[in-house]
Structure 1
Amino acid sequence: MVWQTKKIVRVKDLGEKQEVKTNSKTEEPKGVGLEEIKSFYDEKTSRLEKPASGIRIWMFVLFFIAALVGGFMANFFILTQESIKIPFVGEIRLKEFFPTRELTLVTEKNITVTSDLRLSDLSTRLKSQIMNIYETKEKKEGDNIFDQVYLTKEAISQAGVLTSDGWLMSAGDLGDGNKYVAVSNENKIFAIEKIVKDPLTGLNFLKVEAKNLPVINFMSGEEKIIQGEQVFSFDHSDNLFTDIVSSSSGSRINKKEDLIRSTDYFSEELILEKDYSKGEFLGSFIFGLDGLCLGIKTKERIVPYPQFERAIKSILEKKEISRNYLGLKYLRIEELAGQEFKDAEKGVIIYGDPEKSSPAEASGIKSGDVITRVDSTPLGEGVNLTEIVQKKKAGEEIRLFILRDGQETEVKVNIRSQK
């Protein structure tokens, strides 16, 4: 092995240079082993220590500040937006990931108050879309100023604004021949000129003379009310109440007769956790956190929007209300606990004979028949026969697939319109 000697410069602690001269000619070293070579390269004095660069520190500081500013701006954007649109991705609804924007205040008495800012914004806007209904107070001789004042505790019902030109919807029990007024959130009084009743849901559609009224927005027919969804409503005094959906289309079965359904009116309801049977909630509208109306409180139940969607379209287009008529009463097999049916596990059983002169009677349907399908739609849990019938057009023919004595039969029925 040939060993090439070189000139080595050492740096002492005091900064002095010491030059070590070696033989410059090439010679064959004697007795040089691996340990000596390793020791030569590992010698500490052969290293030059450089001071740390200040540029790296400043770069780290600037990066940290930029990250803080970016995070703050992103957080502010998320908390103030309902949704964002990203190219090639589509719209992302932020409220699904950040459902509430809350402001927490601690008072002097250490009482913590948490308020959903979105709910506060919504309530201000929605109150302008709701009025209270009162019996008209006729001015009499000797009345003082208070005799003409409409107090919220005297309200018969609430009414929601359907159109800017004065169509309203109410769940109040408005008798024929009486005069009524609608009072807005701004205490403007509107005389009710016309009342149209919906026989299917019991709702009233009212007409007042008005312009540029703020209107209620409803959920779409394709959307579903979700169990566990947070909702809110107002009483007649505009107090806000929050609640949770227990069932989007449930039924309160307290006696055997409650199991009997009809193709001509709805019995399912929107069930919430709290009790809204008090009079100050009559006609109250149920809203989701997106501000869309999901239902309305009547005297007996909370009617979900899909049940009166058709009535709203009818009153706005034709200025009258009609309903589809089939003339059948039935029981849902999945609700008959303890009963076994050898012919079908799902579907509905016709209860009693069809009504006289009804489309169902004309088609030959009999008591005890089991309807398993309507057209191509199987009946079962989550599929409502009444809802299917009421969504059809008047005069439309539907096919009912019936089990009778173990044999399946197809029956055609023409739906009739009835006012």
Structure 2
Amino acid sequence: MNTTSLFTRSRAAFLAGALAVAGAFVGIAAQNPGNATVSVKRDPQPIKRVPMEPSSFSDVVKRVSPAVVKITTETKAKKMAAQGQELFNDPFFRQFFGNRMPEMRQQPVSGLGSGVVISADGYIVTNNHVVDGADTLNVTFNDGRELTAKVVGRDPQTDVAVIKVDAKGLPAVTFADSDTVEVGDRVLAIGNPFGIGETVTSGIVSAKGRRVGILQDVQGYENFIQTDAAINPGNSGGALVDIQGRLVGMNSAILSRSGGFQGVGFAVPANMVSHVADSLVKNGKVVRGYLGVSIQNLTPGLIESFKLKDNRGALVADVEPNAPAAKAGIKGGDVITKINGKPVVGANELTLAVTSTSPGTKINLEVLRDGDTKEITVTTGQRPNSGKDSESLLSGGDESDTGVLNGVAVDDLSAELREQFNIPARVKGALITNVDPDSAAARAGIRAGNVILEINKKPIRNAQDAVDLTAKTESKKTLVKLWVSNPSGGGSTVFAVVDESDAKDNS
């Protein structure tokens, strides 16, 4: 079963009075409030961890629940042409039947979700998928008041949205520093499952830093807090709070084989919610920091090839020309081990740290290069928009030359092949046209459509370079630098280690 299909955004929708799943995209024009700001309350102190927890959380719930709201959405009915529409466009038919054409209408779709008030003047955070596609929004508070809301901004890449109601003096939640949350901490989930009314469930933080592929279609930034506090359809956008009543996350999705809660829920960390909400309120969109590097995690093969001590850090596979990283002196093959003094565990942690900064921010990087540690200061730029739609890179090419990497066919990058495989002119190397599925290269993740840029840190200009250099290689392990496509179009650079020592004996 496809793992991605197991994930359920916890939004309930009703179609013609029956419970169903809603996911239509209609779109609300995001309001850009110009220079608006939102000031949220913060308490950065770590939670007080004591051996015995209270026997009741009623005081916490009483403080927090007024700031948790129910969000009702509606997508207006759409006109549908009746079957046989093309016949009525014929002048002969219009002569006898007139210009009247019967119409059919889809039923309006209603949806449910939750939200959290973050400021007294009416700003509310929720999930993007709760408000995505809705034409009208209504917010119901736990005292029964109901107000209409408008979208301030949406960020599909984190599944965070900000809406606003016209009100003053609202109870607002206090944000905790979600970086201080630890696995095992007690948490409460507050929301409106299935639209039955405000509901509180309890559990613990089961894991941190989860990347589960929920947002992969939009190249999202995932850093979920996992919890076993029950989250169900309608809980999306609700609060995940600690036992002091501070927001540590915003409930977003569940992993389930049945569609109902099975003990695995995910919440967007409060720090990410705060950063995104602040940018949406100020700019109507999220403006992210940017280095201009392609990075990847360190595998055992890469650790050996680069003579590293452990797998901590993010390997720089490529640096974009004239990007902030290039201007600061970052090079391909560098390993970034710290950012602003904090250890970098892997590529995702570095990406999250950089994208949480604003363009123009100076960040200090600790870089390992050829065994030496360097301190480099980079001023972040603004992350550009995603590229064009992806294209298939699996069509074949000239497979006559199979002398490189055992089971890999290569060809020169002609103008026709560049157009066929959508390879930019700046990419120089040898195009891989076929890979034997039983080869060591296939096991290393190398695929047809990749471009070999370097072999053992030596540049490749064409197919013959790749064949000649491989023939001279005596080691069973080969370090290959590749250009590969990505789901959003364009491409990125990665390293792979081809280990022929474990090749199958086909004799």
Normalized against structure 1, the TM-score is what? Answer: 0.57
Return the alpha-carbon distance in structure 1 between the equivalents of residues 50 and 312 of structure 2.
36
Return the alpha-carbon distance in structure 1 between the equivalents of residues 64 and 318 of structure 2.
47
1:370 equivalent in alignment to 2:335: yes
Report the residue type matching 1:267 in the other structure. Answer: E
Return the alpha-carbon distance in structure 1 between the equivalents of residues 230 and 49 of structure 2.
28
Q: List structure 1 runs of 4+ shifted beyond 6 angstroms.
A: none
Offset, 1:215: 0.9
Q: State the Cα deviation string for residues 187-235 of structure 1 (Å, max 9, x = none).
A: 32211133312355220011111122111111146x6112111111134
Return the alpha-carbon distance in structure 2 between the equivalents of residues 169 and 253 of structure 1.
22
Give the match's secondary structure for 2:308: coil
Q: Which has the higher helix share?
A: 1
Alignment RMSD, CA only?
A: 4.0
Partner of 1:309: 274
Report the residue type matching 1:175 in the other structure. Answer: D
Give the match's secondary structure for 1:126: helix
Offset, 1:373: 3.1
1:349 equivalent in alignment to 2:343: no
Instruction: Return 5+ residue gaps in structure 2 as ranges.
Output: 1-46, 78-108, 255-265, 385-507
CA contact (8 A) 2:74 2:110 kept: no
CA contact (8 A) 2:122 2:166 kept: yes
Among 113, 128, 141, the residue aligned to 1:157: 113
Partner of 2:61: 123
Q: Structure 1 318/367 Cα, relative in aligned 2: closer, same or farther at 3 Å? A: same
Give the match's secondary structure for 1:279: coil
CA contact (8 A) 2:153 2:285 kept: yes
Offset, 1:363: 4.4
Give the match's secondary structure for 1:298: strand
Offset, 1:367: 4.3
Partner of 1:291: 245
- Number of corresponding residues: 288
Partner of 2:173: 216
Give the match's secondary structure for 1:218: strand
Partner of 2:31: none
1:267 equivalent in alignment to 2:227: no
Q: Structure 1 231/375 Cα, relative in aligned 2: closer, same or farther at 3 Å? A: closer
CA contact (8 A) 1:397 1:414 kept: yes
Offset, 1:368: 3.6
CA contact (8 A) 1:126 1:216 kept: yes
1:184 equivalent in alignment to 2:141: yes
Return the alpha-carbon distance in structure 1 between the equivalents of residues 347 and 133 of structure 2.
38
1:226 equivalent in alignment to 2:182: yes
CA contact (8 A) 1:171 1:299 kept: no
CA contact (8 A) 1:347 1:373 kept: no
Report the residue type matching 1:291 in the other structure. Answer: G
1:9-24 equivalences in 2 (<5 Å): none
CA contact (8 A) 1:197 1:204 kept: yes
Q: Structure 1 359/270 Cα, relative in aligned 2: closer, same or farther at 3 Å? A: same
Q: State the Cα deviation string for residues 343-371 of structure 1 (Å, max 9, x = none).
A: 34253333643467643355454544311
Offset, 1:129: 1.0
The farther-off stretch of 238-247 and 186-195 is 186-195
Partner of 1:60: none
Partner of 1:241: 201
Report the residue type matching 2:176 in the other structure. Answer: M
Determine which structure has greater relative contact order: mean sequence separation of CA pairs < 8 Å that are 6+ residues apart, divided by chain length: 2
Return the alpha-carbon distance in structure 2 between the equivalents of residues 389 and 232 of structure 1.
30
Q: Which has the higher strand share?
A: 2
CA contact (8 A) 1:266 1:307 kept: no
What percentage of residue pairs aligned between the two structures are identical? 21
CA contact (8 A) 2:303 2:311 kept: no
Q: Structure 1 338/230 Cα, relative in aligned 2: closer, same or farther at 3 Å? A: farther
Give the match's secondary structure for 1:297: strand
Q: Structure 1 310/175 Cα, relative in aligned 2: closer, same or farther at 3 Å? A: closer
1:135 equivalent in alignment to 2:73: yes
Q: State the Cα deviation string for residues 254-309 of structure 1 (Å, max 9, x = none).
A: 9xxx9xxxxx9633221123674x42332221111111111012247421112223
